[in-house]
Amino acid sequence: MISYEIVEHGKPLQKAVRETPRPQGTEVLMRVTRSGVCHSDVHIWEGYFDLGGGKRFYVKERGCVPPFIMGHEPFGVVEALGPRAKGVKVGQKRLVFPWIGCGKCEVCKAGRDNYCLSGRRFLGVDRAGAYATHLLVPHPKYLVDAGGIDESFAATLACSAVTAYSATKKLPKLGPKDWVAVIGCGGLGLIGVSVLRTQGVKNIVACDIDPSKLAAAAKLGAKKTLETGGADAVQRLQAAAANHLACAIDFVGMPATAALGMGAIKKGGRYVICGLMGGELVYSLPMLVQRAMTVVGSHVGNLQELKEVVALAKKGKLKPAPVETRPASQAARAIGDLKAGKVTGRVVLDFEAVAA
Ligand SMILES: [Zn+2]
Ligand SMILES: [Zn+2]
């Protein structure tokens, strides 16, 4: 198999040729055709997440030690089955659910693998991922039939869409005058606008510092857009929502976006954060009480949620965010472009032209 790997954190990904793994037990070997490039990959590639206050979480502490293959938005074809892998056939195209837990603990048994405490196996994060021609999946139950959906768009459902979908499930009950702010219109926020529209939310105000990303959000159905540079962004967001901002979903997750979302929501409002840009939250405790605010973290999504997102996409209800398909050989450049903020929507790597 051929992969584009981290050989040293922060250095360009390098092409490697390795022996193609053989599936054991319930494992399934997928031949990857598409692999989405997520902003989290930038952090994994750099080797750490910024925890704020000068603290860092180093991904090597979680087992992500170079050489490492990233990639948690995999779409491909079943190539081989372990002796106990049932329910799929060689040649079938499938989307891969990457947020795999230990499969044995109470949390996993309840279908919430993404919150597993006792042995996470997140593809492309904790173990080898999909920046490669081949990928081992622990069990066929993590394969989702996404037939009829464009393959590049389908790949992006595995992280960006399911993350946005899971975050929007944490919305409060909305009244007719209520607004929802989508903070950050990168790959995650743009599909977030689409997801909100599938749930009947119309009063969406999209926030970003980049006008081209705001234009993309408007196309997907955001009723208003707001350039959030400048000191008065909180007041302008409140005004845009006619002082009825019931919820802000932070798809960026940094001190400036938290200050915007938490500052602008109305009394009793909710701030949902699913972005991982980094930093820490410092907030007045009496204000938290007196504004009766709810702060909710939301991390990726579960298998059932992915199936629900796929169903919405199959029905044509989920409008695709912009997707740019590039040859897999451009993996290193894609990471660089994403870090520089030069990507609108998602870059998806095409592995079909890569000879295995
Ligand atoms: Zn991701
Ligand atoms: Zn578990």
Give pLDDT, residue 355.
67
Nearest ligand to the C-alpha of residue 110?
2
On the question of pLDDT at 353 being above 90, the answer is no
pLDDT digits (tens, 9 = 90+) for 67-124: 999 999 999 999 999 999 999 999 999 999 999 999 999 999 999 999 998 889 999 9
Report the amino acid identity of residue 126. Answer: D
Nearest ligand to the C-alpha of residue 275?
1
Strand stretches in 138-194, DSSP E:
143-144, 179-183
Cα separation of 254 and 274, whole Å? 10
Cα separation of 253 and 183, whole Å? 9
Cα 53 to ligand 1 centre (Å): 24
Helix, strand, or coil here: 296? strand
Nearest ligand to the C-alpha of residue 40?
1
Cα 177 to ligand 1 centre (Å): 33
Domain spans, the chain: 2-162+301-350, 171-297
pLDDT digits (tens, 9 = 90+) for 246-260: 999 999 999 999 999
How many CA atoms, within 13 angstroms, populate the side-chain half-sphere of residue 198? 22
pLDDT digits (tens, 9 = 90+) for 319-331: 999 999 999 999 9
CATH class entry, domain 171-297: alpha beta
Cα 99 to ligand 2 centre (Å): 11
Secondary structure element (H or E) that encloses residue 261, with its range: helix 255-264
Give the mean pLDDT of 190-208.
Answer: 98
| Residue 265 pLDDT level (bands cut at 50, 70, 90) | very high
Cα 79 to ligand 1 centre (Å): 25
Give pLDDT, residue 311.
98
Cα 22 to ligand 1 centre (Å): 26
Output the six-digit token pair for 61: 């502490």
Report the amino acid identity of residue 151. Answer: E
Report the amino acid identity of residue 327. Answer: P
Report the amino acid identity of residue 134. Answer: H
Give the mean pLDDT of 24-52.
Answer: 97
Cα 247 to ligand 1 centre (Å): 23
* Torsion angle (degrees, nearest 10) of CA 337, 338, 340, 343: 80
Q: How far is CA 101 from CA 127, 249, 303, 308, in A?
A: 11, 26, 11, 19
Which residues have C-beta under 5 Å from ligand 1, the single-atom ion?
38, 40, 159
Cα 110 to ligand 2 centre (Å): 9
Give the mean pLDDT of 174-179.
Answer: 98
pLDDT digits (tens, 9 = 90+) for 212-243: 999 999 999 999 999 999 899 999 999 999 99
Cis ω on the peptide bond leading into residue 12 (within 30° of 0)? no
Give the mean pLDDT of 275-279.
Answer: 96
- Kindly report the backbone phi and psi dihedral angles of residue 74, in degrees, each rounded to the nearest multiple of 5, phi listed first: -95, 135
Cα separation of 22 and 230, whole Å? 55
Q: Residue 37: beta bridge partners?
A: 347
Helix, strand, or coil here: 140? helix
| Residue 356 pLDDT level (bands cut at 50, 70, 90) | low
Cα 71 to ligand 1 centre (Å): 8
Assign domain 2-162+301-350 one CATH number from 3.30.70.960, 3.90.180.10, 3.30.420.40, 3.30.70.1230. Answer: 3.90.180.10
Report the amino acid identity of residue 141. Answer: K
- The answer to whether the predicted template modeling score (pTM) of the entire model surpasses 0.85 is yes
Cα 38 to ligand 1 centre (Å): 5
Cα 27 to ligand 2 centre (Å): 17
